[in-house]
Structure 1
Amino acid sequence: MRHQTQSLPAKQPARLRVGILLARRFTLAALANFIDVLRLAADEGDRSRPILCSWRVVAMRPGPVESSCGLYVEAEDSLGDPTRFDYIAVVGGLIGEGQWISPEAEAWLCRAAASGVPLIGLCTGAFILARAGLMQGYRCCVSWFHREDFLELFDQMLPVSDQIFVVDRDRLTCSGGASTAHLAAFLVDRHIGRAAARKSLSIMIVDDALAAERPQPGLPVELRASDALVKRALLWMQQFPETPPTAERLARQLGVSRRTLERRFAEDLAISPAEAGRRMRLAQVRALLARGEKSVTQIAAETGFSDVSHLIRVFRAAEGITPEAWRRAQGGAGGT
C-alpha cells in the first residue's frame, strides 16, 4: 500500500505571520535568505505552501520595488492594519541612498510599534528603525562594515557589531547577508519548532542554526582565531577602531590578566594583541580606501591612528606604498 502524506489543512491559521516592508534599493540577499527559511518551514519538504507560517510584502500601494541589484520584487498588499502580522520586518537599502521609505511607511511602523507588533530590522533596516525613533533604549545590531555610518547618523546609540543578530524584547536586528537566515530560523524555532528551523537551513545547505551571539565574519584571514578568548578580544577591538584599547584595558574588559591574554594570542595567532590590532585597523583602512568616499585624513581618525602622517608611515611599512597610491592602484578616488 502506498504511503500518503497527510498535510495540515490550509485554512488552519499560520503560527507565524510576517509582514515585509522593502526600502527603496533594498538588499536582495537579505530578503531572499529570510523568506526562504520561512517558506521551507511553512510546509512539508520544500513544497512552499504558506501553511505553518505566512509572509506578505507590503507597501503604500501594491507594485514593484527595485532592489540594489536592479531586480524588482512585487509588493502584494497595501500597508493596512499592522496587527494582522506577528512581526514586521524592514529590509534596508544602500547607505547614502537618501529617503529609504516614505513618511507614510515610517508612520505605519510607529503605529505597529504602538500596537505591540515586534519589529525586525534586516541588514540596514536597523537604520530605518533608528531614524523612526524606534530603537531608543534597545540594543541594535549593525554590521561591523557599517558601524561608522551608523554612528555618524545616530551618535547617541552604540551599535552591537560583534554578533550576527540581536533580540531585545520586541526589536530584532541583524547584520545582513546570511545572518537574516539565522534570524528567521530563530523565529521558526520560537513559533513552529526546532525541527522546522533545522529542516529549512539543511535544505539551504546551512549546517545548523547559529545563535545570536555568534561573531560576525569580516576579520582579516590571518586573524581567524580558534581560541575563544582571542576571538572575544578581536571582536572587542573591532568595535572600537577609532580608540584602540591597550592590552591592559582589553585584559580587564575580558576578566583576565594581561599576561594570560598575551600568552593566548601568542599560542593562537603567534602575534601580540597590539600587532593584531594594527593588522585589523590596516584591514579597515584598506576597506575604507577602496570605498573611495573618505579622505585619508578622515580614515586615519576613524581607524585609531594619531594623525595622517602616522597612518602613512604604518601603511607604507605594510604595503610598500602610501594609502593614496594604493587607492589609485585599486581604481578609487579621494584626497588627503
Structure 2
Amino acid sequence: MHRVGLLISDYFQVLGLSTLSIFEFANQVKGEPFYDCAVYSERGGSVLSSYGFSVDSKPLDADAPVDTWLIAGVLTPVELPATPGVVTFLQTHALKARRVAGICTGAFVLGQAGLLAQRRATTHWIHAQTLKTMHPTTRVEEDRIFIIDDHVWTSAGLTAGLDMALGMVEKDLGTEVARSVAHLLVMHHRRSGGQTQHSEMLMLSPRSDRLQSALEYARKNLSKPLTIEEMADAVHVSARQLSRLFRSETGKSPAKAVEALRLENARLLIEQSRLSMEVIARESGFRDRRHMREVFMRGYGIPPQSIRTGKA
C-alpha cells in the first residue's frame, strides 16, 4: 500500500484537494487499493479553506507511514507562510518519505523548509519571481507544468497539480494506468512536466511526448526558420511521421502550429517588454515587421502596435 498524505493549512486553496482524485481513480483502474490517501494538518481537526468551508484532517505524526507528501498551496503565500511546526516537520520527517511535492504555491513551504536549496522547481507563473527572490539558490523554472528533482516534486498553477499527480501514478503503475486515469477524469490530454504553462501549447493539446517535445523545441528556437525536417531530427522521427502527428493531434500543419507559437511569443514580448517591433519580429521568427503585422491581423484581428497602445 502506497500512502499519500495531503498537508493543508488554514486558507488552503481548495483545488489542491482534487489531486487526491488521481489516486482514487488509479485504484479503480488497477482494480485494487494501491493508494491510501489522507488529509493532514499541523494539529489536526477542522481546517478552513480559501473558499470558506472547512475540511477535517489528521494531526501530523512523526510515525505516520506516509510515502508521498503533497503540500497544498494558498492564494497568498507571502502573507500566509507555513508555521514553524510545519517547517520543522518537513525538515525532520518529510525526506524520510519516498517523495515530497509542492502543489502550486506549496513550493513556498518547501522553500521555507530548505528542501528546494540547489534544486530545480516551479510554481504558478504569477508567483515565480517572488519564489526566486525569496530562495535565490533555487533554480526556478516558471515555464514548466511540473518539475521532478530527485525526490522533490513541484507543480505550476493548481490544475498542474493534477498533471503532477498523474505523473506520480505513471511512475508507480505505468503509462497505461496513467492514460486510463486521465481518460476517466476527462483530462483531454496528459501534459508532461516539461510542457510550458503558456496557453498556446495548451491550446494545441499534444497528446504524445514526442509531439510535446517537438513543440517545446520549436518554442525554444522561434528565431530560426524551423523546418519540419529540423524539428523531426530534434525528436528522432521522420519528417513525414512528425507531420502526421501534428495533424492528428493538433488539427494543424506543422507550419500553422509553429506560426501560432510565433504569434503568442510576439504578443508576450509586446505586452511585457519595450523592445522595438523590428526586434520582436526577428526574435519571434517572422521575416520582418510587416510579416508579423499580417499574421497578427489574421490571428487576432488587430495590428501588433494596438496591443502596446491599448487601441484595438
**Superposed pair shares fold, TM > 0.5:** yes
* 1:187 Cα offset (Å): 1.9
Corresponding residue of 1:101: 82
Residues 321 and 57 (structure 1 numbering): CA distance in 2 closer, same or farther, change over 3 Å? same
1:279 is the counterpart of 2:272:
no
Match of 1:27 in 2: 13
Report the TM-score, using the length of structure 1 for normalisation: 0.63
Instruction: State the structure with bigger RCO (CA 8 A, min sep 6), 1 or 2.
Output: 1
Separation in 2 of the partners of 1:200 and 1:272? 29
- Tell me the residue number matched to 1:119: 100
CA distance in structure 2 between the partners assigned to 1:158 and 1:278 by the alignment = 26
1:64-123, Cα deviation, whole Å (9 max, x unpaired): 222222232221x11012551111110111135523321101110111245354211111
RMSD of equivalent CA atoms: 4.0
**Secondary structure in structure 2 of the residue aligned to 1:212:** coil
SS in 1 for 2:191: coil
Alignment match, 2:122: 141
Map 1:1-336 to 2 at 5 A.
Answer: 14=1, 16-32=2-18, 34-43=19-28, 51-75=33-57, 77-81=58-62, 84-96=65-77, 98-219=79-200, 231-232=216-217, 234=219, 247=223, 277-283=265-271, 303-305=272-274, 317-319=305-307, 321=309
Distance 1:101 1:201, change over 3 A: same
Is the Cα contact below 8 Å between 1:92 and 1:100 reproduced in 2? no
C-alpha distance after superposition, 1:10-31 (max 9, x if no partner): xxxx2x2111111332222232
Contact 1:120 1:173 in 2 (8 A): yes
- The verdict on how the C-alpha distance between 1:272 and 1:111 changes in structure 2, with shifts beyond 3 A counting, is closer
Structure 1 residue 152 displacement after superposition: 3.0
Percent identity for Structure 1 against Structure 2: 20
- AA aligned opposite 2:10: R
Give the distance between the partners of 2:266 and 2:37, measured in 1 at CA: 45
Q: Is the 8 A contact 1:139 1:159 kept in 2?
A: yes
Work out the CA distance in 1 between the residues paired with 2:221 and 2:87. Answer: 33
Where in structure 1 are there 5+ consecutive unaligned residues? 1-13, 238-246, 249-253, 257-264, 284-302, 307-314, 327-336
Q: Partner amino acid for 1:54?
A: D
Could you tell me how far 1:157 is from its partner in structure 2? Answer: 2.6
For structure 2, list consecutive stretches of 5 or more residues without a partner in the other structure.
Answer: 225-230, 235-253, 276-302
Q: Tell me the distance in 2 between the aligned counterparts of 1:223 and 1:208.
A: 10
TM-score, length-scaled by structure 2: 0.67
State the AA in 2 paired with 1:23.
S
> Which residue in the other structure is 1:9 paired with?
none
User: Using the alignment, how far apart are the partners of 1:236 and 1:59 within structure 2?
Assistant: 45
Within 1, Cα distance between the matches of 2:15 and 2:115? 24
For 1:20 and 1:188, locate their aligned partners in 2 and report how far apart those are by CA, in whole Å: 15
For 1:36 and 1:222, the matched residues in 2 are separated by 24
